[in-house]
Structure formats: C-alpha cells, structure tokens
Structure 1
Amino acid sequence: MKKNELIKEVSKSAGISLMQATSALDTIMVVIRQELIGGGAVRLAGIGTISTVPTKKRMGRNPKTGEAMEIPPGRKVRFSVAKELKNTLNG
C-alpha cells in the first residue's frame, strides 16, 4: 500500500476529508521522525516498535575500486513486530 492509498483508506474509515487524512498522516510521520532523531522509540500497540540502534565502525569496500575503507559508526532504524501480529501472520 502506498501513501496515497493509505490516505484514502483512512479518509473513508474515519469519515474525514482527504485533506484532513493527509494532514493527520503527515503530522504522524513528522512526530515519528522527530522521536527517532531524538533517540526515542515509537510503540504502536498491536503492530510493533520503531526504534534506532547504534552501528559500530566497520571496514567495507569501495564498490568502484575495491579499495578497503572505514565505515564510520552511526544509527539505523529498526522495526520490531508485535508478538500478537507475528502470531496472526504465522497462523
């Protein structure tokens, strides 16, 4: 499902206009992004948790030259599926 399809479904299900649904979804995305940038996590009951985890410095290779290079430490986004959703999906 793409963002536009999600907006249409939210609009229809909640009985609100497309403009209101778009605004609500955009606001939710901004809040989630800000929470992750700040190092926090977002827990969505029944769906899962979106969080960030640190990555260590590691060695990699330049794909063009094959030369070894150091990849600096950073953070990546992780999504952990809620147990009940995982159980539902796996029957």
Structure 2
Amino acid sequence: MSEWIAFLHAPREHFAETMTPDEQAVFGAHAARLERLLDEGPLILAGPTLGAVNTGIVVFEAPDEAAAQRILDEDPVIVAGLCSGELRPFRATFLRGR
C-alpha cells in the first residue's frame, strides 16, 4: 500500500469564513466521506490549513496512483467543482507512534 497526499484548493481566500449554505452542504458530504474513509482504514489524517488560505490536506493509503486518483476524484468537493485537487505520492516518514 502506498501513501498519498491530496491538496484541496478552495475557490477563494477566507473560504471557511464565507461559505454559502450550498457550499456548507457539499463540505458536510466531504466530512462524512472522510469519516467513512477513516473508519474503513485508508485515511491517515485530514484537515484544513487555517488563516486566509484554506487548503485541505488529506493523507491516505491506496494501492497505486490510479486508485489514489479515484479517491480524490470521488470527493464531493471535487465532484461539485467547488475545489481543485492536487495529488502527490507521499511518505509519512516521521509519525508519532510509528
């Protein structure tokens, strides 16, 4: 299993503070999906950067790049066209408890 990092780029600065109700609904589906991935095992960590630029960071495991890309492409914020995604191979070299 390989590790991957995905960056979810918000559509504007101060996004977390200015989300519309429709955007909040999409992010609710995004959060539910991340919880499901955490329960199922592939999700290692996820969260947003704070401040003016709210980039989401998702670190997860997938067997190969095609599977990792599918995980990113199926995220509700990507499906809705709300965020753009960027996928990179990743190695969690220093991790507490590992």
Q: Which has the higher contact order (CA 8 A, sep 6+)?
A: 2
Normalising by structure 1, we get a TM-score of 0.32
Normalising by structure 2, we get a TM-score of 0.30
